[in-house]
Structure 1
Amino acid sequence: MLTDYRVRQRDYLLQISRALTSRLDLTEVLRLILESAAEMLSGQAGLIVLWDPEKEDFRVRASYGLPPNALPLFRPLWEDLPRQADLLRWPVPHLDQKLTLVSTQGGVLLRRVIGLPMVVGRDVMGAIYVFRARGIRFSSDDLQVLSSFADQAAIAVHNAQLYEAVSREKQRLDAVLEYSADGVMLLDPAHRITIFNRALARLTGWPAEEAIGREHDQVIVWARLETEMDLTRATAGGWPLRAWPPGRERDLSLYVEGDLRRRDGTTVSVGITYAPLFDEDDHLINIIANVRDITRFREADELKATFVSVVSHELKTPVSLIKGYAETLLREDARWDAETVRESLTVIAEEADRLNELIDNLLDASRLEAGALDLTIGEVDLVALAERMVARFRTQTDKHLLVTDFPPHFPLVEADERRIEQVLANLLANAIKYSPQGGRVQISGRVLPDQVIITVSDEGIGIPREEQARIFDRFYRVDDRLSRRTPGTGLGLYLTKAVIEAHGGRIWVESEPGQGAAFSFSLPLSR
């Protein structure tokens, strides 16, 4: 039958065990352990010290019956305490003598002390001390009782350290997930969303707090699938497998690609990689999904296809004409008069110029992609440049009236004359090309306080309003019958915009179908 003393000890230890499982505050648990140990051992005061890795020293973590200002005086009691359990010497020699010295120096009326280390594995986590004001020595039974409290304190410290390590790791993982550029979500085995990061909320339009708890298919809704399988079909087909042939690499990820319908009804191209997570018994515990916006990859693929199509088409026509006229002139069974030869050579020269322009445009587009569009800046007389360009293009058409309109004393600008000439050439060529019935084509200018505005206008077919935002895109051409019949790469306006923006200006268009178009660009004035 248990004595009252043993019953009290059991009750204290039971109370401490409950505290270990219900409380996360280590200081509270250590204080409870210390007070219980002091009461059981008829002590009037106590201390618990723990190893502080930052200070590389033992520090008081809990005290009982001692004024806070007296705590530093007790340091001699643990200054010889080792960090490794196999170096321990317990009981510590001369512990009572050290206490006598502390009591004398600090005026603390304590006569006896008992102390034990708190050990986990081979590591000394700290120590627990109980003091008596009377001179009654602690017995071996007291040492055994204190040992049970020291063990409980060591468990509490170890649990707290584990909890802190897990908390830090969770915070780190939460930060990685939350600030990942890709969307990330975690599903339970029933495909219910348990984690939904910020990037995925932006991508789908679903706030995390509304997405979490919903089924996967309520949030991930496909407008169009590029792959044969989505998560629902794959699961119905047995994915993910819980067993696989021996020696096979454990890679059961599922990739799904297509157009995802966002919450507001718009769509976005995404690729989702689903990876199953198994426990040690090969039971599915979670599915982690990485969601990536692949819009730019899709656009790059489409751009590549457009590039190949446009370039092959635009190269084929001039090469065919050059080859045809050259072969005709080289025929030995025919004699050509001088006029025919001149006309044929003119066509060859014009098509060679067209090829050269195409190559220059492609090279400029490549330089733009590499961020290497160089400018040679100098003073440019835009009025004189416009007159030269109009004179050059008058020789290419007899249907159009090409004119300039500038106010007197038009200022010089700081610009790359060759590049601005390229801009005007592109705009004039388009104005002539897209006004097949002829009409007036004009280069005009006006002066504002800090910039000049140059406008190239025509009386041609015009540009639909819905097309105007895209006409400066690379390889883009207005989708109409005339555009399809008219040669071009769709690079001219793209390069024109890049050149103007490189000068610190901007370019825009004003147009109505059937009413012509006016392309304007600005160039800053020197200060």
Structure 2
Amino acid sequence: MTRLPMTNDDFQNKTNVFMKFSIKKNLLTGGFLSALLLLSSVGIASYISIIKLLKNQHWVEHTHEVLDTIEFMKMGLLDAERGRRGYIITGDISYLNTYEIGVSNTQKMLRKLFMLTLYNNKQQQKLEAIQPLIKKKEQSLKKSIEVYKTQKANREIQIKFTNQGRDLQHQIQAKIDELEKAERVLLSQRSQATNRSVRYITIIIGIGYFLSFSLLSSVWFLLQKQIDKRRQVEAILRQTNHRLKDELKERQLAEALLQESEEKFRSLCERSPVCIFMLNEEGNFTYVNPQCQMIFSDECDKAIGKNWLQLIHEEEQDRVTQNWLQALFKQEGFSDEVPFPHPEGKISWGRIWTSPIFSTKRKFLGCVGIIEDITASHAIAQLKNEFLSIASHELRTPLSSIRGALGLLATGVLQNQPETAKQMIEIASNDAERLVRLVNDMLDFQRLQSNKIILRKQWCSADNLVKEIINSLESLAAEKQITLLFSPNNVQIWANPDRIIQTLVNLVSNAIKFSLTNSTVTIVIIKQTDKVLFQVKDQGPGIPTEHLETIFDKFHQVDASDSRQEGATGLGLAICKSIVQQHGGEIWVESVVGKGSTFYFTLPLPLDR
């Protein structure tokens, strides 16, 4: 439907209507002012009364909150007691969770009560009397649990703790009852004050309503005459605003569609599993999604405005910069694998793709790009390459030696040299043993990592295991003129003897291999309260500090050339760590460069022995 434009006559008529309406409105001013004065007086009185009512109601709710908090504190004490009792009766550690939650809730509710009763000195004094009792109760519960862990069968001690806890519970309950009684007295007083405020407000509103109704009825007749005029004004306003409303709806619809589109785009970017970013024409970030924080060293908001090339590892900056600029010059996309350093020394690897953005006039505006985090796959590939390098070297070296020795024997040139032939056979035998040892280490490590080995534990003498190891390694130590020291200690361990022998053989043989000639390797066994501690100490070159945390990783070698020269596979310490951990123990090393290293590992003792 086509709208006709407004004429001058229409505008004049509408203006006259407004003028008449303004004159008639002055006649009602006096009546409305009188009603307003009366309503203002009633409103002020009602406001004051309502403020008092709200204040009283606030204190009533406050008192209810205090009472509820008291109940929650009592429930926390009961939960703590129930958790302790359940754990002691059944031995199920899941009850300790109930105990810990109960203790935590009790402390939270006690602190909350202190905050809620800051205005009430008497209640604060009652809480100060309750607090040490609760603390004493919690200490009793905690000590009871600790005693049960070390002395499960001591029933008399548990009965003692139970009686002590019951006495403390009665004392705490008595104090809480006093606190609760005082709050209920306050609740009664505040509820009565609230009821009085409600009655007073009801009276005031009733009187004000009656007087206002009487006064407003007198001007109602005048208002009826103005209704028609008001309707005319409203019609004019509706006609005037009709077009604005249509335009407003169209604009709101367009804005809603635009906002929806922006929200979809932002949601797509922020929930994407890869890093999404935008660059301006200078290569500075104008947008990065949250996933970028996993790759960059800076947080997302700090990355805005920085040049993306500055975040690359300095060794790769020149190469990546050159390739990226060449791609931009050709107006092509760019793709590469790039390292991003972090302040703590870690390096994240990302596979990056960028694509240039141009305006309709082919003006360069910037780039849009994504980065896929390939740190894990890069580390796996690097580890795989290291494994293949080590494995191929370790397999090729003994095989070449065996092939050479057997080749000499096969040609018959040593037929008249029995001593030399015997040496060749010994070389082939030793390298075959080395090859078998390497393969066995790899198989053992794989089985240990996949939990395919079942440890059958038994009580055995740690002294006998160490003596057996010394006998087997004595010839190796004699070759380097190394003394093996051990003082028997008559210690029994709960372990798989074969695996502990394997662990000690790896540690002691390493100590022999890397010790200096005419030095000493010391083996010590110390029985502690709940575990047995083994020490293997050498007087070798020591281990640098940066290698102490990773020395037990697979294929980790402090000096690859020395390790290979000594026949190391890089799996021995990793196997030791896996065996000790499967026994429930710990393994670590302490070392001083130039003075030697000491390897430690522990084996736990059963509590019910």
Using structure 1 for the length normalisation, give the TM-score: 0.60
Distance in structure 2 (CA, Å) of the matches to 1:323 and 1:418 = 33
Distance in structure 2 (CA, Å) of the matches to 1:464 and 1:253 = 46
- SS of the aligned residue for 2:476 comes to coil
1:479 paired residue number: 559
Q: After TM superposition, give the deviation of residue 364 of structure 1 in Å.
A: 3.7
1:374 paired residue number: 453
Matched, 1:234 2:324: yes
Q: After TM superposition, give the deviation of residue 379 of structure 1 in Å.
A: 1.8
Matched, 1:388 2:478: no
Distance in structure 1 (CA, Å) of the matches to 2:295 and 2:340 = 9
Q: What pairs with 1:311-350 in structure 2 (closer than 5 Å)?
A: 311-332=391-412, 335=415, 344-350=424-430
2:172 paired residue number: none
Distance in structure 2 (CA, Å) of the matches to 1:518 and 1:151 = 85
- SS of the aligned residue for 1:396 comes to helix
- SS of the aligned residue for 1:445 comes to strand
1:106 paired residue number: none
For residues 273-313 of structure 1, give each alpha carbon's deviation from its aligned partner in whole angstroms, at most 9, with x where no partner exists: 22334567766554223345555444434433332332222
Picking from 223, 228, 231, the partner of 2:314 is 223
Which amino acid in 2 is paired with 1:379?
Answer: Q
- Report % sequence identity: 25
The answer to whether the 8 A contact 2:316-2:338 is kept is yes
2:515 paired residue number: 435
Distance in structure 1 (CA, Å) of the matches to 2:577 and 2:386 = 20
1:463 paired residue number: 543
| Residue segments in structure 1 that go unaligned for 5+ positions in a row | 9-131, 242-251
Q: Give the direction of change, closer, same or farther, for the CA distance of 1:448–1:170 in structure 2 (3 Å limit).
A: farther
1:189 paired residue number: 281
Q: Give the direction of change, closer, same or farther, for the CA distance of 1:449–1:175 in structure 2 (3 Å limit).
A: farther
User: Mean alpha-carbon deviation: is it higher for 264-273 or for 437-446?
Assistant: 264-273
Distance in structure 2 (CA, Å) of the matches to 1:430 and 1:315 = 20
Q: Give the direction of change, closer, same or farther, for the CA distance of 1:362–1:161 in structure 2 (3 Å limit).
A: same
1:452 paired residue number: 532
- SS of the aligned residue for 2:549 comes to coil
The answer to whether the 8 A contact 1:240-1:276 is kept is no
- SS of the aligned residue for 1:412 comes to strand
Q: Give the direction of change, closer, same or farther, for the CA distance of 1:149–1:335 in structure 2 (3 Å limit).
A: closer
Q: Give the direction of change, closer, same or farther, for the CA distance of 1:313–1:263 in structure 2 (3 Å limit).
A: closer
Q: Give the direction of change, closer, same or farther, for the CA distance of 1:282–1:411 in structure 2 (3 Å limit).
A: farther
The answer to whether the 8 A contact 2:533-2:600 is kept is yes
- SS of the aligned residue for 1:387 comes to helix
The answer to whether the 8 A contact 1:189-1:286 is kept is yes
Which amino acid in 2 is paired with 1:191?
Answer: G
- SS of the aligned residue for 2:602 comes to strand
The answer to whether the 8 A contact 1:223-1:259 is kept is no
Distance in structure 2 (CA, Å) of the matches to 1:215 and 1:265 = 21
2:185 paired residue number: none
Which amino acid in 1 is paired with 2:455?
Answer: T
Q: Give the direction of change, closer, same or farther, for the CA distance of 1:168–1:7 in structure 2 (3 Å limit).
A: farther
Distance in structure 1 (CA, Å) of the matches to 2:557 and 2:466 = 26
Distance in structure 2 (CA, Å) of the matches to 1:380 and 1:325 = 45
Which amino acid in 2 is paired with 1:173?
Answer: L
Q: After TM superposition, give the deviation of residue 253 of structure 1 in Å.
A: 2.6
Aligned residues: 385
Which is helix-richer, 1 or 2?
Answer: 2
Matched, 1:412 2:507: no
Q: Give the direction of change, closer, same or farther, for the CA distance of 1:482–1:2 in structure 2 (3 Å limit).
A: closer
- SS of the aligned residue for 2:499 comes to helix
Which amino acid in 2 is paired with 1:411?
Answer: Q
2:435 paired residue number: 355
Distance in structure 2 (CA, Å) of the matches to 1:434 and 1:392 = 18
The answer to whether the 8 A contact 1:224-1:259 is kept is no
Q: Give the direction of change, closer, same or farther, for the CA distance of 1:257–1:170 in structure 2 (3 Å limit).
A: closer
Which amino acid in 2 is paired with 1:477?
Answer: Q
Which amino acid in 1 is paired with 2:314?
Answer: A
Distance in structure 1 (CA, Å) of the matches to 2:6 and 2:477 = 118
Q: Give the direction of change, closer, same or farther, for the CA distance of 1:380–1:296 in structure 2 (3 Å limit).
A: farther
Matched, 1:526 2:606: yes
Distance in structure 1 (CA, Å) of the matches to 2:508 and 2:255 = 77
Which amino acid in 2 is paired with 1:393?
Answer: L
Which amino acid in 1 is paired with 2:453?
Answer: D
1:501 paired residue number: 581
For residues 358-411 of structure 1, give each alpha carbon's deviation from its aligned partner in whole angstroms, at most 9, with x where no partner exists: 112223444567x44533232252333222222211243422333433433x23
1:211 paired residue number: 303
For residues 119-141 of structure 1, give each alpha carbon's deviation from its aligned partner in whole angstroms, at most 9, with x where no partner exists: xxxxxxxxxxxxx999x9xxxx9
- SS of the aligned residue for 1:225 comes to helix
Q: Give the direction of change, closer, same or farther, for the CA distance of 1:161–1:334 in structure 2 (3 Å limit).
A: closer
Q: Give the direction of change, closer, same or farther, for the CA distance of 1:239–1:364 in structure 2 (3 Å limit).
A: farther
Which amino acid in 1 is paired with 2:7?
Answer: T
Distance in structure 2 (CA, Å) of the matches to 1:506 and 1:5 = 100
Distance in structure 2 (CA, Å) of the matches to 1:5 and 1:380 = 115
2:270 paired residue number: 175
Matched, 1:305 2:385: yes
Q: Give the direction of change, closer, same or farther, for the CA distance of 1:486–1:395 in structure 2 (3 Å limit).
A: closer
Q: What pairs with 1:110-129 in structure 2 (closer than 5 Å)?
A: none
Distance in structure 1 (CA, Å) of the matches to 2:500 and 2:265 = 58
The answer to whether the 8 A contact 2:516-2:539 is kept is no
Q: Give the direction of change, closer, same or farther, for the CA distance of 1:321–1:211 in structure 2 (3 Å limit).
A: closer
- SS of the aligned residue for 2:271 comes to helix
- SS of the aligned residue for 1:523 comes to strand
Distance in structure 1 (CA, Å) of the matches to 2:278 and 2:6 = 53
Which is strand-richer, 1 or 2?
Answer: 1
Distance in structure 1 (CA, Å) of the matches to 2:362 and 2:384 = 44
For residues 248-282 of structure 1, give each alpha carbon's deviation from its aligned partner in whole angstroms, at most 9, with x where no partner exists: xxxx4312444445578986554432233456776
Q: Give the direction of change, closer, same or farther, for the CA distance of 1:450–1:260 in structure 2 (3 Å limit).
A: same
